[in-house]
Structure 1
């Protein structure tokens, strides 16, 4: 456990993060005592917390979530066993060490900033003390939410640890969710209700009140669903979450763009670009790492899902991870623009790709696919590490569908309006609407809409789990006669991932493995 919590000391924080405000010079040879003196120091430390968002490639939670769901198989080459193990729910003692270490690294940085922010001489800049605190607490909540969804039983570390405190016990999940909710409630209460159109371009990628409201809704739906609770760990009620989403919808200035395919870089010249009005929160990336493997400026997940080993114009090459399940492609109705906007079909697009590899399905991601007409090499980068499109964490369409779900037993007219907005855009007409009802049938319609609208955006696995392990198993199981595509979701794991054995060993017996993952 010591390695988790002290692996990244403030004295070596490197905040060479991403775009605009996140681009800060690295901090070298400065101790905690000498560092937290000025507002500039605090901003550099905050940038270092944001920096953790960019970490991860083959083990990015976005990628893991799609592979573990019914949307994708593992894919990749013969030696890319981690992806296949996530797909098939197979043991691998340290497969998940990357995410575990990443998130505790982010939590450590946030805790150090929050513990020392009071030492800064703010002068006339006291408003930024509140702002930086709110942003750091959002990020800490974000890191904890990913951790607790993935592993369930995790240590809850709320401050920098003394050497005598390194071996932290696993907290009850409800304790972690309570902490997450409190952090997000603080962020909502302390960030202004600045409309999208008034956010300075230099601040794109920073946490907003709206991002906190949307993330809190996501946390609420997952916790109350997966753990069958009536509220969010005694902190936030359904009525409060409804109110937050109503404020977001009515006053934030976010909205959906007219055409779904134009949301993604595969639209070429018609791409609406990053930071459009549908992007409530995104992780920012840039090519400016310029072949430096020690930096994490680029979106390293993109090369993972690229078409394996071959440029197939207009798409660029990659490693072929997370091949799309044909069942997802077939789930879209005729006329739904999201099918060709989300998924590449080698056959339907008449592309030439004669190669084959494990779990190749003829379907690849279109969302986040590297594109041949603007690739890292064109701007001096390396295609393996310098892809530069942002990862959109929360889209406004997701907000509408969460609000529709929360209003099923409240204001059904509102729920129908939000649901219609998403479907009307998908079909470019109003003739494909379906009536919602305030029962299981209405919930099923919304969950299916979430699958189609948010496919390949890292949400499907969690949407299945929050409907219950039985529902998840029914969807994920793939009883194929072809062994490479046979998937058997192991209900005994409850959908939780395997805690890295490396961390269990370091914990001096404090950490216990999740059910179903005994070696």
Structure 2
């Protein structure tokens, strides 16, 4: 009888009550076996919560996560961080290990967490039919659909980041080689198609906040289709999803999901919607969020990793100025700030502009690659305590450890993305969908702009900057196009001294935009795993 590995598949327990409750992990169950655990539907539910917990841990982890890599590799951010910090993020930013030759495992912890999360999904999917589902077949299919959505989400991150990964669809300890990416995408497509068909046809308001819906699966199918066909130059998604199919899924989300745009773009983001008079934040469960990853401020150093640990990396370097909190200083680029026109409300909501906002930032000597700009969508927050002192919001809500207690949800898919994907996929309403997104951004400054491929990509850049999307939008335009956009030579301040920040398009092309396979994993595999080019 095989024990469930306590480290890999600790199962979360949660009681969900009503549509407003968050779908989050609590105390784990560990002392059980695969065979004895799956006896009643409640056991499958508990295991499903464990799958969500695995997704939360891998996406919210500290260090080099998928989100941080996506932003640092893009043209919207530099690696930044501290003047004396290790140059590991610079290696990622510049696609060049020569700047950090000692770092042979840029992503080992991330790799391990992904396979831990996948293991949870695979155990549930393997064991769920040990339960008698007579009379509860729809519930069984829902649980399977949600687990398969999570597995697809995980594999889509992995196959984009590394390109060549071992493919496991059931629990295994075998030392297997990397799969052809097409095989991984086949599993992703099959999982999402199943989820889109079997998760109930409910409005988003009827589902617990943070739980995968039919609409999230359909929206993700559009994203996967566009990336795969763009990066790999194919006409369909591994023969399973055509352009017409992908469009039909987007149109269904638009027509039937109940999702809509929040009226004010700034209200999507806590920092952009907060001022001395209060906040107009639309909240974590607002109508625009098709799928989010949930976080709380209950993290500690004893194994509870419930927080958004990467967010602290994007805050201003060791500096607070209301409503912005203390952080480690990954910088946004001046190129991103200049992308927006004065009439575009997304500029203010997206970028912390130090000089333009009159922020008295003074930690130039502690900051690497200072540009004067930081991420506003995902930044730590500050507030005034009862004594009038400016403190981290984590100090008011929890213990005050701003490093692990950041709790802002990650909005993985927004409704505006569905509108723009539908337009890109050839909807007869393409101009209308395009206009809806732009009208919100420009308000009274809105002037019509013809919908075409070039304008669409520019609009996607402005709409989704600093949301972990831009880099992958570049990649799906082709490696050559992406290289030209990413190539950079500009002046930044490091330790308050001017230096030239350079990013080589040639280095990017050598790697094909893929990231380093952890060398520890290659060693552990006995050379079965192979390193990606350029690393």
After TM superposition, the score normalised by the length of structure 1 is: 0.92
Mapped to 1, the partners of 2:371 and 2:90 lie a distance apart of 14
The structure 2 residue matched to 1:108, chosen from 116, 119, 136, is 119
Matched with 2:516 is: 498
Alignment correspondent of 1:314: 323
| 1:251-330 alignment, distance < 5 Å | 251-266=256-271, 267-268=273-274, 269-289=279-299, 291-321=300-330, 323-330=331-338
Partner SS, residue 261 of structure 2:
coil
Distance (whole Å) between structure 2 residues aligned to residue 17 and residue 352 of structure 1 = 46
| Match among 233, 236, 243 for residue 231 of structure 1 | 236
The corresponding residue for 1:89 is: 95
Cα distance in 1, alignment partners of residues 243 and 468 from structure 2 = 24
How far is the alpha carbon of 1:431 from its aligned partner? 3.5
Q: Give the C-alpha shift of residue 387 in structure 1.
A: 1.2
**Residues 430 and 75 of structure 1: CA distance in aligned 2, closer, same or farther (over 3 Å):** closer
CA distance in 1, matches of 2:33, 2:313: 37
Q: Do 1:17 and 1:50's aligned partners in 2 also have CA atoms closer than 8 Å? A: no
Find the counterpart in structure 1 of residue 43 from structure 2.
41
What's the counterpart of residue 32 of structure 1? 34
Task: For residue 195 of structure 1, report the CA deviation from its aligned partner.
Answer: 1.4
**What is the rounded CA distance, in whole Å, between the counterparts of 2:85 and 2:347 in structure 1?**
30
Of Structure 1 and Structure 2, which has the larger fraction of its residues in strand?
A: 2
- Indicate how the Cα distance of structure 1 residues 264 and 431 shifts in structure 2: closer, same or farther if over 3 A, else same: closer
Partner of 1:459: 469
The CA deviation at 1:23 is 3.6
What is the rounded CA distance, in whole Å, between the counterparts of 1:104 and 1:429 in structure 2? 48
* Alpha-carbon distance between aligned partners in 2 of 1:422 and 1:51, rounded to the nearest angstrom: 33
Counterpart of 2:169?
Answer: 158
Query: Which structure 2 residues correspond to residues 336-375 of structure 1 after superposition, within 5 A?
Result: 336-356=344-364, 357-373=367-383, 375=393
Aligned length: 495
Instruction: Find 1:388's aligned residue among 400, 407, 414.
Output: 407
**SS at structure 2 position matched to 1:486:** strand
Tell me if the contact between 1:287 and 1:297 (Cα under 8 Å) persists in the aligned partners.
Answer: yes
Separation in 1 of the partners of 2:325 and 2:14?
Answer: 27
Q: Structure 1: where are the runs of 5+ without partners?
A: 437-441
Q: Tell me, what secondary structure is at the counterpart of 1:480? A: strand
Contact 1:307 1:318 in 2 (8 A): yes
Supply the distance in 1 between the matched residues of 2:182 and 2:69 (Cα, whole angstroms).
24
Q: Provide the C-alpha distance between the structure 2 equivalents of 1:79 and 1:370, rounded to a whole number of angstroms.
A: 20
Give 1:423's aligned residue: 438
* 3-state SS of 2:381 partner: coil
Separation in structure 2 between the aligned mates of residue 505 and residue 16 of structure 1, nearest angstrom:
38
Task: Verify the 8 A CA contact 1:17 1:297 in the aligned structure 2.
Answer: no
CA-CA distance at 1:82 after TM superposition: 2.2
Q: 1:478 aligns with which of 474, 488, 500?
A: 488
Structure-1 separation of matches of 2:92 and 2:334: 18
1:346/1:404 CA distance change after superposition, 3 Å: same
Q: Does 1:66 align with 2:75?
A: no
* Runs of 4+ that moved beyond 3 A: 5-10, 12-21, 121-126, 480-484
What is the Cα deviation at residue 287 of structure 1? Answer: 1.3
CA-based RMSD of the aligned residues comes to 1.9
1:93: how far off? 1.6
What is residue 79 of structure 1 aligned with on the other side? 85
C-alpha separation between the residues in 2 aligned to 1:152 and 1:398?
Answer: 24
Distance in 2 (CA, whole Å) between partners of 1:79 and 1:293 is 26
Answer whether contact 1:194 1:252 (CA < 8 A) is retained: yes
- Tell me which of 137, 141, 154 is aligned to 1:130: 141
2:503 aligns with one of 471, 481, 487: 487
- Contiguous gaps of at least 5 residues in structure 2: 98-102, 384-391, 492-497
Q: Which has the higher helix share?
A: 1
CA contact (8 A) 1:17 1:47 kept: no
Q: What are the superposed Cα offsets for residues 458-507 of structure 1, whole Å, 9 maximum, x if unpaired? A: 00110001001111111111123665511113101110101010111111
Alpha-carbon shift at residue 421 of structure 1 (Å): 0.5
Worse-superposed segment, 492-501 or 304-313? 304-313
Provide the C-alpha distance between the structure 1 equivalents of 2:164 and 2:15, rounded to a whole number of angstroms.
30
State how far apart, in whole Å, the 2-side matches of 1:372 and 1:84 are: 28
Matches of 1:215 and 1:186 in 2, distance apart? Answer: 12
1:430 deviates by 6.7
Q: Single out whichever of 475-484 and 223-232 deviates more from structure 2.
A: 475-484
Q: For 2:222 and 2:125, locate their aligned partners in 1 and report how far apart those are by CA, in whole Å.
A: 24
Q: Distance in 1 between matches of 2:382 and 2:489?
A: 36
Q: For 1:156-206, what per-residue CA distance to the aligned partner results, in whole angstroms no more than 9, with x for missing partners?
A: 111111x5xx11111111111111100100001111221123x14xx1111
CA 1:391–1:167: 2 relative to 1, 3 Å:
same
Cα distance, 1:312 vs structure 2: 1.6
